[in-house]
Every structure is written in C-alpha cells, then in structure tokens.
Amino acid sequence: MASKRRNMFHKNKTQETTEKGRISDVTTANAGIYRCSARTTSGYLEDDYILNVQGYTPLADDSEAIETKRASVGQTAILNCNTDLERPVSYSWSKRDAPLPEHSSSYFETLTIPNVTLADAGMYICTASNGEVRMDIPTILTVTGSIPFFAQAPKSYIALPQLLNAYLVFNIELIIKPEHRDGLILYNGQQSDGAGDFVSFGLRDGVPEFRFDVGSGPAIISSDEPLQMGVWHHIKLKRDRRDGYMWVNEVGPYTGSSSGRYQGLDLNQPLYVGSVPDFSKIHTLAGFDTGFVGCVSKVKVDEEDDFSQRKSLEWVGVTTCETCPEGAGNPCSNNGVCQEAVNTAGYVCICPRGFSGVNCTQAGEPCFPGACGSGHCNMSPPSSSVHCECPLGKAGPRCEHDVHITTPMFTNNAYIAYPTPRSGDDRMMLTMKVNAADDSDGLLLYSSQTTAGQGDFVSLAIKDRRFEFKFDPGTGPITLTSNREVIPGEWVTVIADRDARMATLSVGSDVVQMTLTPSQRQGLNLRTPLYMGGHDRSVSLNSAVRIDKGFEGCISQIDVYGMSLDLLRSAVNASNVGECQSSHSDPCLSAPCHNGGSCVPPKRPGHSGTNCEIETDQCEEIAPCENGGTCIPQSRGYLCHCPLGFAGEDCEQTVEISYDVSLSGNGYVELDKELLPHTEVDALETIEMDFTSSSPDGLLFWHGQPLRHDSSREPDYFAIAIVDGEVEVSYELGSGPGHVRVPHRIDDGKRHHLKVTREGSDATVTIDSTHQESAHSSGVLTQLNAKGNIYIGGTPNNDIMTDGRYQHSFTGCIHRLRIQDSGDIEFGNLALSSTNALSCTNKPRSNDITDNYEDDDDGDENGDEEYTYEGNIDPGRQPIVN
C-alpha cells in the first residue's frame, strides 16, 4: 500500500498494486515523500521514497486550494481536521517550519488557538491515521488586524508608554507606507503642555525629518529626497547624546547634532504614533501640525517591539491596513495565501506544497527532504535561499562535511542547547570560560519561562563591550554589568551567581555585586533549554535582554550549579557549531587542566630531533600557504600573508570583498595612484571614509613614494592615521611639513565619518561633521609629487615607506572610501593587491573542513543520576575556578 506523507493524493490518476505505486500526469503538486507499507510474515514494514518533480507546472485555476481559516488579532482560532477515514482515527497536529503555539491545545480532530497573534499565522498540518491509512491534511491560518492604518478622519493615533532608557541613547526602527506627503509619525515629549525636551519624526513634503531637543536647541535631520507614496519604507533613527543619525531604506546615515552643552533627553509623556491628541500641546519646534496618513507596521525601540494593542495605552481612530488585496490583486500565485506581515512588502505568501519563493512562483521547494543532510533546512527571504542548521559534528553549506569538535566555536548565531536548569530555586550559579573573537554584542547564555520571550528569564551576554548578567524572577529585570571590558582573543572565566540575598558577576578578578530586595529573591521559573552561544530562532528572547545576535568566539567549559558539563555529550540540540581555531594553534591556551595538572600540546610540525630540540623552517618543510599566500617563518611556526580574496590560517578560505574592508593590523590594500593624480597645482583634493576601530594607533591612508630600500626617494607624501586614539593628517610637499591632529577620540568601536581636503599647502580634516581642524605646510611648494600607489590600512613595509613615522597598521573596518569623484570604491575590483584583507560583512568560506586531531574518546560516562541538573557531567573536569 502506498501513501503520501505530506498531503493527500491529488486528482490525477494514481495506481496502486502489491508492489508498485504509479502516478500519471505528474505535476509539481505531487512532489514530496511517499511511504510504502507492506505486511509480511515477518511483520509490518515501511519505507519512504522522495519524489522531486522538475519543471514548472502551474496549477489550474480550478485546482483544489488548501482550506483557509481567518482570525483577527485577539480572537480564538479553531481548526478542524476533516477526513473520511474509517474509525477509530488518531489525530496529531503540527505547524510547518515552526513549533505549535504554546497557548494552543488539541482535542481529537480540533486544534484551538486562543488570543491569536501575528506569529500564529501559517500552515498547520493534521496527521490522521487509522492504522491502515495515514494522511496529512493542511489548513492555512491567516491573522488580520495587526497592522494599523491612520486615516486622520478626523484624528488617528496610538499612545504607547514613554521611551524608556532613552536619556543618553536610543534606537528606533519603523516600517511605514505613507499616503500623504505631510504628517507627524512619532512624538514623545517631556511635559504635557509641550515644554521641555522632545523627539519627533514625520514627513515634510514627503521628506523624512527627525528632530530632538535635549534642552538647548533642536537637532534637525532630513534625507535628500522625498519618499514615494503608497510604498513601504524602512526607517532607522538613532540618537547618541547630542548626535542624531537617520537611515532611509538602508541609505545613510543622515546626521545632525543639537547645540549647547546638554546631552540627556528627559521624556515623561506617552510615545504617540500617527498623531497626537492636541497639536497645541506639543513643543513649538517639533516641526509638525498634522497627523500621518498611511500604514505603520513596525515601531521597534532598541530591541523591544512595543507595537501591539496589548501594550498600548490608547488607540483612537485607527483601522486596519489592507496589505493583502482580494482577487486579481492577490500577489501570491499558485493558490498561495497572502498574510499581512511586518516587512517592507507588507505581506508574506504561505505557499502550497510544491511551490516556494516570495510570491509562490518558484516550482519546487528549496527545503526538500535531505537538502541539509542531517541538519535542519530554512528558507531565507526574500531570495528563498536555503540556510542549513547543522547538528554537532557537521558543517558546510549543506552540512556535508564532518568536523571534529573539542572546543566549540560560535559564529553566525550558532548555539548549543542543554537541559533546562532546575526551577524554583533561589540559587543559580553559571560559570564559563570564554574567548571572544571581538567585542561586539552577543548572547552567551539564555533560558526563559516561555519560548515567546515572556515571563522569568536568565541571560549572560556581551553588551556595549562589557559582560552583562540579567535575570527576572517576575518582579522586573535585574542587571549587573562588569567594570572590565571584553578583550578579544583572551580566555577569561565569567561567573554569574545569585543566591537568597546577593547577585554577583565575576569576570576574572573583576567582581560586581548587588544586594537583592525580598521580592527579587524569588526562584526563577525556567522551562526552555539553556542556550549557549546563541539561541534557536523559533525562540523569542525576552525584550529586556536587548540583544538579538549570537556570541562570536569560543567557549571551552561551562558549569551549572557548580557541576562541569560535558560540552558535547550534554547537548540536547545544536546548530552550526565549529571547532575553535585557537585550540588548533595552542589547545593549552584555555587552561583545561585542573588540580595542578600541566597541559602539554601535541607535537606539531616545525621541530625535529629526539626531544624536538631542532627548529625547522616550516615554510620550506610543508609550504603551508595556499592560493598564492606568502609564508613568513616564525619562532613557533609560520604565518601566512594572504592575497586578495583569500583568508584563513593557510589562506585556504575564500572571501568576497566589495565596498568595505576589514584589517587586523597586519595588512593593507593597494590602489592605483591615478585615483589621486596631483596633476593640477592647488586643485582641491578630497578623501572621505567611514571607519570603525578600537585600536589607538593605525595607518588609514598613505600616498608617497614606491618601496625602495635606499635614501634617494623624494620626501613628498600624504598620510591619514590614528595616533593615540585621535585622527592625524600629515603631509610633505617638499618645502616643509604640514601636520594637524583632531582632539576627539575615535578609538571607541563606533562608526565615524572622516573627510579630508587639501588645496595647495592647506588641509582640513572633519570628523562626524562636528569636529574640524586645519593645517598649513611651510614653504612655497604646493604640489604633491607622490609617485607611488595609494595604500589603505598599512603598507608592505611601514618602517621603510613612512620613514618610521607610522609603525602600526590599521585594525578595524573601513566601511566605505571615496577619493575625489570616484564614488564608493569597490575594493574587490579596484585593488591592485592586498594582504590579509577581509570583508566587514561577508564571512570567509571554507571549501573543505578537515579534522586536525584524532578523536580522543576517553570513555567518560554520564553524570550520576543523583544530580538535579539533567546533563552529562564530565567526571574528568572539575568546576571552573579562577
């Protein structure tokens, strides 16, 4: 007997015999998994077969569509599984590409979802079986009423709680579809009569305008051109003290600053969306006197999305935005169902089996069974590309490679999940040994009461370059932040501890403590797994965590309640975890040995002799550098300098470099000198770049003479560098130097805009449009005679080429570079050469992942059953101690 697991057989003729199942007139709708069931004298046997259908076969207009149920936000949705199977029948429910909602319940053939939200929309599968026949019956649930429309007839607005934690900084993200060219979209003020500080955003003659006033005059930030009406637009607003930034459809930032010496923003009134109750009671400099007409699908403040009716204070005159037109206007093809969504299209399509893509126009499903091997397949909109989540021990774009893991490495939201920590205890202690690849924000540990991000939680993270321990026992989040900053590449022990009276965060020798009030001493009610390094994307983080990306780096050990877990055997789930590269270079760096044990790294190439006493040249011995890399002998091995497009310890990885470039203090990019020809005396020359760095010293730009090892070179040069955390410009035109330094630190890990101009002997340098200094070179010569090429981030030999002026190459990211009228320079196409240059946005890709070590199975057994934490305890390890 043959049956189809994913759907019922379609109307085209299906023939079944004792050993064959035949489908005539195959279409893409027939694609899926088929099961052959046979009853023999040896028992009942089953086997599955995958049918992939190639080619595009559009569904006929009269083809049978999947049953669709509709519910408004807050209503109860009831889904029924209708079959004609002979009873008794068993039923089970699932949701395609996601777990069932936590608040749902099933009773025989009925699934009930109370108080539906936008996240509940999707395709639900009822699996019905009577022992002889099994079928999967899909039902699509669409949810409406989640996106508000502001008609201003006569007034429409939503009142939300005031902006919290916005005194010094805030980030706001919006998605809007305007229908009129003028109108206030956001407003938050300090006083009910309009006096005091405020922040506002809206459209003025179609142009986005962002304003705020911290007490001494408003900052006014506008984009270059008006928005198109009737189209969705993505807006980002950021304020950092007196400085404001705005991005419109990923273009920007547009910048501006408020005047005066005040930096703090005091806000006490509600945050209004769409309009305000009375324009006569808002600040006179807010800039708007009419409300916004159109749709607003998203208002996200920092990492918290407050835009839901449950959290709002008041809805006045607001209706529903119609993003899914009926009939011919339906954007979803092939019987796909349109669902309103919070994105720049305003909708998503729920596609039937056999079709995929943004509008269900792509025949076949990228996430077919086996697409990711033993991993889990996800489709990434809008391109519908496949993203694979690989289990432990697997890696590669399709989880096709084996990887031996001893010390886990986390990148791109990789994670390991462990059993849920015990609940209700007023004591919790979490200890880790971590090595951060950078100091960016990232989640280290997380467990919560619900997968929806509500209720109690505990988290350990890196936030704003410091370690942050948070927990909420139901009385509000408690936060402890380390004094010590994260040091990339350094192993450090982090301990997060709370007991009946005290909360403690220890980072190495740095200790921060907080005395808890009686209400804060309650036990945590935790139900999700304990996620390390990141989290399952089906789990929403509690908004108080204020982080939405995973940790970048390595973790060598974790203790829960003082018991050291086996990092791999204790795992209940994992995604895209790799092997720590630092453990390959020296596995003893993480200090894995306890109780006075000495760590001895395995013998490596580079030494010979009975006692490894003879040092050999590994560059000659093994020629390790691939893809044209240059091998540099080192005292403990070798170092590969990788050419453009390659990266990795042996230059074995490929990397796509486009308009940005990342450098680590040992590289550079060479550009053609014709970008800055210096052919006209006293002509205005302009160099602009956006960059981010945390290093106090580094060469950003050098244009001088070709590399020569003698002293006969001409003295002319032009340089831009970071010196002691400040931007310095120096130059020599042949008759005396020019030099200027801007007294404003930029080694803060934040993005900065730099503009340098030179006209003859005069130069001006401007940082972030707010800090400007000028220089003048002595003498009568005004033309720069630089015969060498331009170098970005460093040179092949800083000591020789800069005559010892600049010893340090740049460490950080150059987000974009413009020289004269070049426009944004595409490094990947224009670079003449480069060394050790990566992309800030594109990660290196490896074509081969190999094991560097033999599998060392020490035969450790699971932990004793008397432990209250249900994980595999490694008896060979002891709790981490400083």
**pLDDT tens digit string along 139-159?**
999 998 889 999 999 999 999
What is the pLDDT at residue 851? 34
Q: Decide if pLDDT at 8 tops 80.
A: no
Handedness of CA 787, 793, 796, 802 (dihedral sign): positive
What is the pLDDT at residue 284? 93
φ and ψ at residue 520, rounded to 5 degrees: -85, -5
CATH of the domain at 336: 2.10.25.10
Give domain status of residue 574, yes or no: yes
Q: What does the DSSP 8-state code read for residue 582?
A: H
Reported as type and span, the H/E element at residue 619 is: helix 618-622
Most confident of the ranges 307-316, 562-571, 680-689: 680-689
What is the pLDDT at residue 527? 86
- Same-domain check for residues 159 and 79: no
Angle at 838 between CA 836 and CA 843, to 5 degrees: 135
Contact present, 103 and 131 (Cβ < 8 Å) = no
382 cis-preceded (ω within 30 degrees of 0)? yes
Lowest mean pLDDT, pick from 221-235, 320-334, 540-554, 700-714: 700-714
- Same-domain check for residues 181 and 304: yes
What is the pLDDT at residue 881? 39
What is the pLDDT at residue 853? 32
- Same-domain check for residues 158 and 140: no
Work out the average pLDDT over 626-650.
Answer: 86
| DSSP three-state, residue 745 | coil
Which residues sit opposite 705 in a β-bridge? none
Ramachandran assignment for 569, one of left (phi > 0), alpha (psi -120 to 50 degrees), beta (any other): alpha
| DSSP three-state, residue 68 | strand
pLDDT range class, residue 654, cuts 50, 70, 90: confident
C-alpha span between 408 and 391 (Å, rounded): 12
Q: Which amino acid is at 354?
A: G
Contact present, 671 and 830 (Cβ < 8 Å) = yes
Work out the average pLDDT over 654-674.
Answer: 92
Contacts of 757 (CB under 8 A, 6+ apart): 684, 685, 686, 687, 763, 764
What is the pLDDT at residue 614? 46
Give domain status of residue 60, yes or no: no
C-alpha span between 819 and 685 (Å, rounded): 8
Reported as type and span, the H/E element at residue 618 is: helix 618-622
- Same-domain check for residues 460 and 540: yes
**Percent of the chain with pLDDT strictly greater than 70:** 81
Q: pLDDT: is 169 or 535 the higher one?
A: 535
Q: Decide if pLDDT at 704 tops 70.
A: yes
- Same-domain check for residues 166 and 135: no
Q: pLDDT: is 688 or 399 the higher one?
A: 688
- Same-domain check for residues 450 and 554: yes
Tens digit of pLDDT for each residue in 254-291? Answer: 999 998 888 899 999 999 999 999 999 999 999 999 99
Segments in 753-805 forming alpha helices (H): 798-801
Task: State the chain's mean pLDDT as an integer.
Answer: 82
Tens digit of pLDDT for each residue in 537-568? Answer: 888 888 889 888 999 999 998 888 767 788 88
Instruction: Kindly report the pTM of this predicted structure.
Output: 0.47
User: Of 113, 144, 175, at which residue does a domain stop?
Assistant: 144
Tens digit of pLDDT for each residue in 482-515? Answer: 999 999 999 999 999 988 789 999 999 899 999 8
Per-position b or e across 434-450, b if 16+ CB within 10 A of its CB? bbbbebbbbbbbbbbbb
Closest CA to 259 of 269, 244, 237, 281: 244
User: Of 539, 572, 590, at which residue does a domain stop?
Assistant: 590
- Same-domain check for residues 250 and 193: yes
What is the pLDDT at residue 847? 46
Token pair recorded at residue 580? 């720590």
Q: Decide if pLDDT at 4 tops 70.
A: no
Reported as type and span, the H/E element at residue 583 is: helix 581-585
Contact present, 274 and 155 (Cβ < 8 Å) = no
Closest CA to 315 of 115, 73, 70: 73
Contacts of 598 (CB under 8 A, 6+ apart): none
Residue with tokens 């808002």: 282
C-alpha of 722 from chain center? 29
C-alpha span between 266 and 199 (Å, rounded): 10
Segments in 768-844 forming alpha helices (H): 798-801, 827-830
CATH of the domain at 101: 2.60.40.10
- Same-domain check for residues 828 and 679: yes
pLDDT range class, residue 52, cuts 50, 70, 90: low
Residue with tokens 């994913």: 6
Give domain status of residue 871, yes or no: no
Residue with tokens 């699971």: 862
C-alpha span between 771 and 768 (Å, rounded): 7
Q: Decide if pLDDT at 419 tops 70.
A: yes
User: Of 277, 304, 320, at which residue does a domain stop?
Assistant: 320
C-alpha span between 139 and 116 (Å, rounded): 16
pLDDT range class, residue 15, cuts 50, 70, 90: very low
Q: pLDDT: is 455 or 849 the higher one?
A: 455
Give domain status of residue 61, yes or no: no
Q: What does the DSSP 8-state code read for residue 565?
A: B
| Residues shown for the chain | 882
Q: Decide if pLDDT at 880 tops 80.
A: no
Closest CA to 57 of 371, 361, 458: 361
| Structural domain count, the chain | 6
What is the pLDDT at residue 715? 84
DSSP E strands, 76-160:
77-80, 90-95, 105-107, 110-113, 122-129, 134-144, 148-150, 157-160
Contact present, 796 and 668 (Cβ < 8 Å) = yes
C-alpha span between 146 and 305 (Å, rounded): 13
DSSP E strands, 473-625:
478-485, 491-498, 502-507, 510-515, 530-532, 553-560, 563-564, 573-575, 578-579, 607-608, 614-615
Give domain status of residue 77, yes or no: yes
Token pair recorded at residue 46? 């089953």
- Same-domain check for residues 698 and 570: no
Token pair recorded at residue 692? 């981010």
CB atoms within 10 A of CB 411: 18
Alpha carbon distances (Å) from 92 to 84, 108, 351, 470: 16, 8, 22, 38
Q: Decide if pLDDT at 859 tops 70.
A: no
Token pair recorded at residue 416? 């390991």
| DSSP three-state, residue 508 | coil
Give domain status of residue 292, yes or no: yes
- Same-domain check for residues 110 and 251: no
φ and ψ at residue 779, rounded to 5 degrees: 90, -175
Q: Which domain holds residue 32?
A: 2-51
Token pair recorded at residue 696? 């106090």
What is the pLDDT at residue 849? 31
CATH of the domain at 802: 2.60.120.200
Reported as type and span, the H/E element at residue 845 is: strand 845-846
C-alpha span between 843 and 647 (Å, rounded): 10
Q: Decide if pLDDT at 192 tops 80.
A: yes
Give domain status of residue 595, yes or no: no
C-alpha span between 215 and 335 (Å, rounded): 56
- Same-domain check for residues 39 and 117: no
What is the pLDDT at residue 524? 86
What is the Cα gyration radius of the chain? 31
CB atoms within 10 A of CB 559: 22
What's the farthest any 2 CA atoms get from each other in the chain?
105
What is the pLDDT at residue 165? 80
Ramachandran assignment for 678, one of left (phi > 0), alpha (psi -120 to 50 degrees), beta (any other): left
Token pair recorded at residue 70? 């509709």
Work out the average pLDDT over 236-249.
Answer: 91
Token pair recorded at residue 344? 């720049």
Q: What is the DSSP string of 283-333?
A: -TTS---SB--EEEEEEEETTEE--STTT-SEEESEEE---S--GGG----
C-alpha span between 211 and 201 (Å, rounded): 6
Q: Which amino acid is at 783?
A: Q
C-alpha of 317 from chain center? 36
Lowest mean pLDDT, pick from 464-468, 584-588, 872-876: 872-876
Give domain status of residue 477, yes or no: yes
- Same-domain check for residues 177 and 71: no
Tens digit of pLDDT for each residue in 785-805? Answer: 898 999 999 999 988 899 889
What is the pLDDT at residue 54? 56
**For the chain, what is the total number of helices (H) and then of strands (E)?**
4, 70
